[in-house]
Amino acid sequence: MITASIVLYKTDPEILLKSINSFLASPIEEEYYLFLIDNSPDSELSNLVNHQNLLYFSNPENPGFGAAHNIAINEALSLGSRYHFIINPDVYFGVETVSEMLVYMDEQNDVGMMMPQILNEDGSPQYLPKLLPSPWDIVLRKLKRPEKYYERFINRYELRGVDALKVYTAPILSGCFTLLRLDAIKEVGMYDDRFFMYFEDWDLSRRMHLKYRTVYFPLVSVIHRYESGANKSKRLFSIFIKSAVTYFNKWGWIFDKDRAAINSETLKQFK
């Protein structure tokens, strides 16, 4: 069985439909389900799609992005699902994406988590695989200053110089579109629900990377309507800061004993 989940919150129905239909149109050669976990205060989106493989859960207490996906992952585990896709409601993709990622996961038993190439609507890449960050990296990425130093930093940190079609392992994968091996999730755990939003995907990716390969797979792609809400909303920026503090409290601020070693090992793939 294959499962997937999309977490909603007052989501634009037109945008959401593109995401739902992308998954439902995928040629999956076994039983599958798509869970909609709706964190909205009402259930207006419940009747958006009537499909036998679509399961809707109203979750108005809104525990956050990761905690809501955990509801779906628990359902997937109870159904005996092998693999689970995490899909943002602002992502859509072609029919080959899901099937080719599943084939790769079947062939590579040491992969616990993978993501495809993520593109903007104009076809330009979003540089989402990353090295493990330091607190200074997070600040520098926001400030984008000094310009010359920033350019060298961001090219290394976001692995921008890597061949566009190279499949490789990265310790940080984005949660906007992710494939999880559920046997690996049983071992490393689900999302840490202390993160309401932001950094929960980095935390899970890092935990997964310690035991399994976390793979960037650019041979297929999805389109992501990237909004960068934390740069536009004081409320979202506040949530971003709180999640960053939670992340560095968990893994270490200055003294993160594994960060340098993991980043060095990642960069060795490209020499």
User: What's the pLDDT tens digit per position in 90-103?
Assistant: 999 999 999 999 99
Tell me if 113 sits within 8 A of 178, measured CB to CB: yes
Angle at the Cα of 218 (from 91 to 188), degrees rounded to 5? Answer: 75
Tell me if 26 sits within 8 A of 98, measured CB to CB: yes
CA atoms within 13 A on the CB side of 22: 26
Please state the rounded mean pLDDT for residues 228-255: 87
User: How confident is the model over 63-110, as pLDDT tens digits?
Assistant: 999 999 999 999 999 999 999 999 999 999 999 999 999 999 999 999
CATH number, position 37: 3.90.550.10
- pLDDT category at 229 given cuts 50, 70, 90 is low
Measured distance CA(108)–CA(102) in Å, rounded: 10
Q: Which domain holds residue 202?
A: 2-270
Q: What is the pLDDT of residue 226?
A: 76
Q: What is the pLDDT of residue 211?
A: 97
Tell me if 37 sits within 8 A of 5, measured CB to CB: yes
The answer to whether residue 244 scores a pLDDT higher than 80 is: yes
The domain tally of the chain equals 1
Measured distance CA(105)–CA(88) in Å, rounded: 20
Measured distance CA(198)–CA(127) in Å, rounded: 16
Fill in the amino acid letter for 230: A
- pLDDT category at 147 given cuts 50, 70, 90 is confident
Q: Name the one residue in this structure whose structure tokens are 């992501």.
A: 224
The answer to whether residue 145 scores a pLDDT higher than 90 is: no
